[in-house]
Amino acid sequence: MLAIETVKLSRTFDNVSAVAELDLAVEQGEVFGFLGSNGAGKTTTIRMLTGQLQPTAGVAKVMGRVVVDKSTALAMLAGVVFELANLYPRLSARQNLAFAAELYDVPSQRIDELLEWMSLSDRAMDPVEVLSTGMKQKLCIARALLHRPRVLFLDEPTSGLDPSFARGIRDEIRTLKEEGTTVFLTTHYMEEAEELCDRVAFIERGRVLLEDSPASLKRNFGKSLVRIELKDGRAATLSLEDEADRLQLADWVTKGLLVTVHSQEASLEDIFVEVVGKR
């Protein structure tokens, strides 16, 4: 059974297509990157997959269940975190989680577990309005994990965070994957997607343009080139497919003349710009 499946999923607003005949198949336990420019249809897709927005056409399933608007069964299977923290600012961090725990019928010890996991225990009684942006985002993730969802939707989870908080959230995503949680991730940070995702899909104007693992995309779009620097200050770019260049590289290595070697493989950002930027 797939964690997420869509068949020709579509949504229009005033005759404008936001998502067009989207076909997705996300495996259980996978971190799947859903990447696109602003207005590409990412958030609209998440809203349909979580039952917050009815599709115009097509079918969406989460853990084998057809997504139905405001479905209680679906709510217990999925958690969702949007880019902007939608918390109660005058309530404390713990009170925010306690309110959600009542809705999900989750025991209070789960609140303490998540506050500890997110390193928020010492700020648990502080009003949310005095917490930093990173702390608020961690609290949103904790709230989404209260009921131990099988699938977690993260919409720009590290947007606007400083590097230390962003790294902490990426670490949490890795832990969730290890525990078997499926993560559906949108992000504008291509390095983040490259680091975390098993597969990525590039979406533009509601359509998937390309889908594969980051490693496969980099191989297919990259060049078999290396940029080297020598101890005498010289620099050169060599092709690993050219026999003369390979022999030259081997000679420099044997003589101990190399200072640095950098592969010229395409980054996910390069590929995104090439594929999506053309559109």
Note the pLDDT tens digit of each residue in 8-32. Answer: 999 999 989 999 999 999 999 999 9
* Confidence at residue 69, expressed as pLDDT on a 0 to 100 scale: 65
- pLDDT category of residue 86 using cuts at 50, 70 and 90: confident
* Confidence at residue 276, expressed as pLDDT on a 0 to 100 scale: 86
User: Looking at 153-157, 173-177, 217-221, which range is the least confident one?
Assistant: 217-221
pTM of the prediction?
A: 0.85
| Residue 41: partners with Cβ closer than 8 Å, 6 or more residues away | 11, 18, 19, 20, 22, 203, 205, 206
Give the residue extent of every domain in the chain: 4-218, 223-263
CATH class of 4-218: alpha beta
